[in-house]
C-alpha cells in the first residue's frame, strides 16, 4: 500500500508538470503546422520552401541558444532542492543578462546570417528571395525569444509549469491571429508570417515579465535588485559550472539542429516536391516531439530537485515513471499517425503530388514517436542533474559517426528513403547510448 501511494504521488507530480508543458509545447508545432497549412494553400511551392528554409535558419539560431532554458531548469531545480535562494536569484539574473546580449547581437548580425545560411542550404532562386525577406524580418524577435527561453527555464526549475504554459499559449494564439490577418487578409505571404512572429514574441515576453514580478515579488523585495553588486553573483566557480553546463548543451543542441538542417538541405537539393513533402512530414515529428517533451521537462524539474536533495531513491522512481509516461504517449501518437495519416496530411495541403509522396514514406513518421521518446526522456534526466557531458558526447557520436556517414553510404541505393532511415537510426542511437551510460552517472549512492 505504501509503495502504491508513493507511486501515485510521483505520477501526480509528473502529470502536474507534464500536462502544462505538453499544452504549451504542442502550441509551438501546431502554430508551425498552421503556418505551413496557410502557405501550403498557395499554388507556388517556393512560398512553402521559403518558410521551411527560413524556419530552419531560426532553428539553428534559437535552438542553438536553447541552453538558456535547458541549462537553467536543472540548476534552478537543484538550487531549490538545496534551499539555495541566492543561487536561484543569481540564475535568473544570468539568463536575463545573457539573453539580452545574445539577442541584440543576433539582430546586429542579420545580414551575414541571411547571406551565409542561404549559401549553405542552396535552395532554388525563388526560395532564396522569399527566405531572405523572412529572415530579415523575424530576426528582430531574437531578444524577446531568448529572454523567454531563460525565463521559462527558470519557472520550470521552480516547479512552476503553469506560467510557461500561459505565456506560450497566449503568444502562439496571438501569432496565429496575426498570421491569418497578415497572410489571408492582407496577402503579405511570407513577410506576414515573419512579422506575426516578431510582434507575438514581444507581447509574450511582456506577459511573462508581468506574471514574474507579480508572482515572485517576495523574492525581488528580498534583494534581487542588489544581486548585481553581490560578490557571490560574480564568483568565478559558480560561473564556471553554469558556463560549462551551457557549453555542453549548446554543442549538443547544435548537433541536433545540424541533423535537421542536413535533412532539410538534402531535401532542398533534391527538388521542390521533396522539400515540400518532407517539410510537412517534419511537422508530425515536431508535434510528437513537443508532446513527449512535456514529460522530458517534468523529468528535468523533478530529477533536478531530488538530485539537489540527494534523494537517490525518489530520483530513480522519477526516472522510471517519466520514461513509462513518455513511451506511453509515444505509442499513442504512433497509433494516431497510422490510423489517420491521410486526413492529417490533407490538413496541410491539397496538392495530390505532395500527398502521394508523403504516403510513400509515411512509415518513418509513424514509428518516430516511439523511437524518439526514449532519448527525449533521457535528455531531461541528464539536463536536470547537470550531467551534460554525456549528452554532448553521445550527440556528437550519433551525428558525425553514424547519421551522416550512414546517409552518404545508403543514399545511392535508397533514394528518398535514405535520409529518413538515417534520421530514425540517429534517434535510436541517441537513446541507446544514453541508456548504456546511465548506470555510470546515476547509480552513485547520494542518499
Q: What is the DSSP string of 111-146?
A: HHHHHHHHHHH---HHHHHHHHHHHHHHGGGHHHHH
The highest-confidence range among 130-134, 288-292, 313-317, 391-395, by mean pLDDT, is 391-395
Q: What is the mean pLDDT of the chain?
A: 84
Query: Would 447 be classed as within a structural domain?
Result: no
Query: Would 392 be classed as within a structural domain?
Result: yes
Give the pLDDT band of residue 228 (cuts 50, 70, 90). Answer: low
Query: Would 139 be classed as within a structural domain?
Result: yes
**What is the model's pLDDT at position 32?**
64
Q: In the block, which residue shows the cell 508551425?
A: 32
What DSSP letter does each residue of 216-274 carry, written as one string? THHHHHTTGGGGGG-GGGG-HHHHHHHHHHHHHHHHHHHHHHHHHHHHHHHHHHH-HHH
Question: Nearest Cα to 117, choosing from 145, 89, 136, 137?
Answer: 136
Bigger pLDDT: 282 or 237?
282
**pLDDT reading at 423 higher than 50:** yes
The grid cell for 281 is: 512530414
**pLDDT reading at 29 higher than 60:** no
Rounded Cα distance between 350 and 150, Å, is 39
**What is the model's pLDDT at position 185?**
86
Query: Would 52 be classed as within a structural domain?
Result: yes
Percent of the chain with pLDDT over 90: 31
* Cβ(171)–Cβ(203) below 8 Å: yes
Evaluate if pTM is beyond 0.85: no
Rounded Cα distance between 337 and 289, Å, is 13
| Residues sharing a CB contact under 8 Å with residue 269, sequence separation 6 or more, in sequence order | 122
Query: Would 386 be classed as within a structural domain?
Result: yes
Bigger pLDDT: 199 or 442?
199
What DSSP letter does each residue of 82-118 carry, written as one string? TT-HHHHHHHHHHHHHHHHHHHHHHHHTHHHHHHHHH
Q: What is the pLDDT of residues 342-388, one digit of tens each?
A: 888 887 777 778 888 788 888 999 999 999 999 999 999 999 898 99
**What is the model's pLDDT at position 233?**
65
Q: How many CB atoms lie within 10 A of CB 12?
A: 10
Bigger pLDDT: 335 or 227?
335
**What is the model's pLDDT at position 392?**
95
Number of domains in the chain: 1
> What percent of the chain is helix, strand and coil (3-state, nearest 5)?
90, 0, 10
The range of the structural domain enclosing residue 200 comes to: 2-440
Q: What is the pLDDT of residues 150-203, one digit of tens each?
A: 999 899 889 888 898 899 889 888 988 998 899 888 888 888 888 998 999 999
* Cβ(46)–Cβ(124) below 8 Å: yes
Query: Would 432 be classed as within a structural domain?
Result: yes
Rounded Cα distance between 106 and 140, Å, is 8
Query: Would 85 be classed as within a structural domain?
Result: yes
**pLDDT reading at 399 higher than 90:** yes
Q: How many alpha carbons fall within 13 Å on the CB side of residue 419?
A: 20
Give the pLDDT band of residue 434 (cuts 50, 70, 90). Answer: very high
Query: Would 446 be classed as within a structural domain?
Result: no
**What is the model's pLDDT at position 447?**
41
**pLDDT reading at 446 higher than 60:** no
Percent of the chain with pLDDT over 70: 89
Amino acid at each position: 500500500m505504501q509503495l502504491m501511494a508513493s507511486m501515485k504521488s510521483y505520477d501526480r507530480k509528473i502529470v502536474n508538470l507534464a500536462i502544462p508543458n505538453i499544452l504549451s509545447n504542442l502550441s509551438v508545432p501546431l502554430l508551425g503546422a498552421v503556418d505551413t497549412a496557410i502557405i501550403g494553400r498557395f499554388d507556388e511551392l517556393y512560398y512553402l520552401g521559403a518558410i521551411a528554409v527560413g524556419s530552419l535558419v531560426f532553428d539553428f539560431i534559437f535552438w542553438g541558444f536553447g541552453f538558456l532554458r535547458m541549462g537553467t531548469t536543472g540548476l534552478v531545480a537543484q538550487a531549490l532542492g538545496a534551499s539555495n535562494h541566492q543561487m536561484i536569484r543569481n540564475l535568473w539574473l544570468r539568463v536575463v543578462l545573457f539573453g539580452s546580449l545574445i539577442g541584440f547581437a543576433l539582430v546586429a548580425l542579420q545580414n551575414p546570417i541571411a547571406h551565409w545560411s542561404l549559401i549553405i542550404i542552396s535552395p532554388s532562386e525563388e526560395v532564396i528571395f522569399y527566405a531572405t525577406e523572412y529572415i530579415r524580418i523575424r530576426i528582430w524577435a531574437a531578444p524577446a525569444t531568448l529572454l523567454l527561453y531563460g525565463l521559462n527555464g527558470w519557472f520550470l526549475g521552480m516547479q512552476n509549469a503553469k506560467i510557461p504554459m500561459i505565456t506560450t499559449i497566449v503568444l502562439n494564439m496571438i501569432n496565429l491571429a496575426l498570421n491569418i490577418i497578415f497572410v489571408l487578409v492582407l496577402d503579405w505571404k511570407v513577410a506576414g508570417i515573419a512579422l506575426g512572429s516578431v510582434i507575438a514574441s514581444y507581447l509574450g515576453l511582456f506577459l511573462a515579465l508581468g506574471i514574474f514580478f507579480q508572482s515572485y515579488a517576495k523574492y525581488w523585495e528580498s534583494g534581487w535588485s542588489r544581486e548585481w553588486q553581490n560578490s557571490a553573483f560574480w564568483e568565478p566557480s559558480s560561473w564556471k559550472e553554469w558556463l560549462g553546463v551551457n557549453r555542453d548543451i549548446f554543442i549538443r543542441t547544435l548537433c541536433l539542429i545540424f541533423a535537421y538542417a542536413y535533412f532539410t538541405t538534402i531535401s532542398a537539393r533534391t527538388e521542390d516536391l521533396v522539400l515540400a513533402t518532407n517539410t510537412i512530414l517534419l511537422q508530425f515529428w515536431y508535434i510528437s516531439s513537443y508532446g513527449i517533451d512535456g514529460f522530458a521537462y517534468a523529468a528535468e524539474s523533478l530529477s533536478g530537485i531530488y538530485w539537489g536533495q540527494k534523494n537517490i531513491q525518489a530520483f530513480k522512481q522519477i526516472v522510471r515513471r517519466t520514461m513509462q509516461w513518455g513511451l506511453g504517449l509515444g505509442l499513442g501518437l504512433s497509433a494516431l499517425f497510422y490510423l489517420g495519416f491521410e486526413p492529417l496530411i490533407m490538413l496541410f495541403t491539397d496538392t495530390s503530388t505532395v500527398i502521394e509522396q508523403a504516403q510513400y514514406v509515411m512509415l518513418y513518421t509513424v514509428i518516430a514517436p516511439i523511437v524518439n521518446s526514449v532519448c527525449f526522456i533521457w535528455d531531461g534526466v541528464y539536463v536536470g542533474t547537470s550531467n551534460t557531458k554525456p549528452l554532448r558526447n553521445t550527440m556528437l557520436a550519433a551525428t558525425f559517426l553514424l547519421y551522416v556517414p550512414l546517409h552518404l553510404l545508403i543514399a545511392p541505393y535508397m533514394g528518398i528513403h535514405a535520409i529518413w532511415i538515417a534520421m530514425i537510426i540517429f534517434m535510436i542511437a541517441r537513446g541507446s547510448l544514453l541508456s548504456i551510460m546511465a548506470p555510470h552517472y546515476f547509480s552513485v549512492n547520494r542518499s
